[in-house]
Amino acid sequence: MPEAFLGLLPNPPGGICNEGENDAKSDFILKVGEVHDKLQEEISRRRDEIEDKVDKNKGKMQENAMARTGVSPELMQQMMALEKQSKGATGDQAKAYKAQKKALADQMIQQSSNISMGEIENLKKMDKAGKTAWATAYATEKKAEVMADPQAYQQKTASDMKDYKLMQKQKQLADSLGAQSTKYMKQFQDLENDKDAQALLTQIDEMEAKLDEEYKKENRPNDNAIKSLNSSIRNLQISYCNLQSPKYLDILSKYKSFTQSSIASYYRLEKLTNQVNATQTGVDLTTEPGMMGLQQVGAYLSKLSDVYRYNHISPKYVYIGAE
């Protein structure tokens, strides 16, 4: 369950901008790696279960899809067979297959909507008055069908409205959760592009270029110049870490709160999504609940594992003398 994995996650250690390796950093990275591996294993297991259930029900889902179109399974199977047979066909054979598929498509349209391909072609040639007359006649025909069995029409309308409301409810919740998650992703990206931080990186790049030139000199490098440049670079790197890391941890803390509070909503979204899929496929593909929540925990874990992203502090320069 997502809650269990959230409980396994370590908090970011103190001293994010401390120099070099230390036990707190090593323990944190090790723990995050262990949780990441377990989480990915669990997500993979559940994904395999979902794919297995879909594969086992694929035939039934296709039958239900055909039934919803109003086209008979026989015609659908004939069209699928023609599509398969016509692959790679050329010349007269390709033309023959095209004619067969066109004739079959005409039957399918006639069966599903009571309109022939001939009518559609004629409709394209009609002027505005002709199209209006045709639409009026078609509407009258449909109204007669409704009047012939009003109870069936009412039941279908009620069922369609129920399905529509379900899809709207699912979409609204998905959009709401997506918007909140996107908000935090934008905050992380805005931090990455912070102007003051970018200015520091530019200074670091310039200093590192100068340091590289100093080392390339033919004569013995000027140790004082190298020492001074290294010191300047380190100070800039420390400033960069101290500028960015506290902001990163602040966004991360809020993102964690969102993740914790959203788990219940992801359970609801998952349930609604399964219901929508069931109405569309005619098959209940529900599996062990919690997959969406686990994926959200994985998204938070990805950011948690990156808490040291702004710590690039070089070790202090030590001159070891000429060889």
**316 within some domain:** no
**201 within some domain:** yes
Are 181 and 275 in the same domain?
yes
User: Residue 230's domain spans which residues?
Assistant: 2-7+16-56+158-304
- The closest alpha carbon to 81, from 101, 96, 110, belongs to 101
**190 within some domain:** yes
Are 94 and 27 in the same domain?
no
Domain termination residue (choose one: 120, 151, 182): 151
Query: What's the domain count of the chain?
Result: 2
18 and 11 in contact (C-beta within 8 Å)?
Answer: no
Are 289 and 264 in the same domain?
yes
28 and 10 in contact (C-beta within 8 Å)?
Answer: yes
Are 135 and 199 in the same domain?
no
Are 236 and 119 in the same domain?
no
**317 within some domain:** no
How far is it, in rounded angstroms, from Cα 225 to Cα 210?
A: 10
Work out whether the CA dihedral 223, 228, 232, 235 comes out positive or negative: positive
Work out whether the CA dihedral 124, 129, 135, 141 comes out positive or negative: negative
Q: Which two tokens stand for residue 153?
A: 């029409």
**314 within some domain:** no
pTM above 0.75, yes or no: no
Are 65 and 195 in the same domain?
no
Q: Which residue has the tokens 């390796």?
A: 21
323 residues of the chain, pLDDT tens digit each: 888 988 999 899 888 888 777 778 889 899 999 999 999 999 999 888 888 888 887 777 777 666 666 666 677 777 777 777 878 778 888 788 787 877 777 776 665 666 666 666 666 677 777 767 756 765 666 566 556 666 655 665 666 677 788 888 889 999 999 999 999 999 999 999 999 999 999 999 998 898 888 777 766 666 788 888 888 888 999 999 999 999 999 999 999 999 999 999 999 999 988 888 888 777 777 778 889 999 999 999 999 999 999 988 877 654 444 44
Are 165 and 251 in the same domain?
yes
Are 180 and 286 in the same domain?
yes
Q: Which residue has the tokens 């889902």?
A: 61
How far is it, in rounded angstroms, from Cα 176 to Cα 133?
A: 45
Are 144 and 254 in the same domain?
no
Q: What is the DSSP secondary structure assignment for residue 239, as one 8-state letter? A: H
253 and 227 in contact (C-beta within 8 Å)?
Answer: no
Q: For residue 173, how many other CB atoms are within 10 A of its CB? A: 16
**320 within some domain:** no
Are 202 and 250 in the same domain?
yes
Task: Name the phi and psi angles at 47, rounded to 5.
Answer: -65, -40
Are 39 and 182 in the same domain?
yes
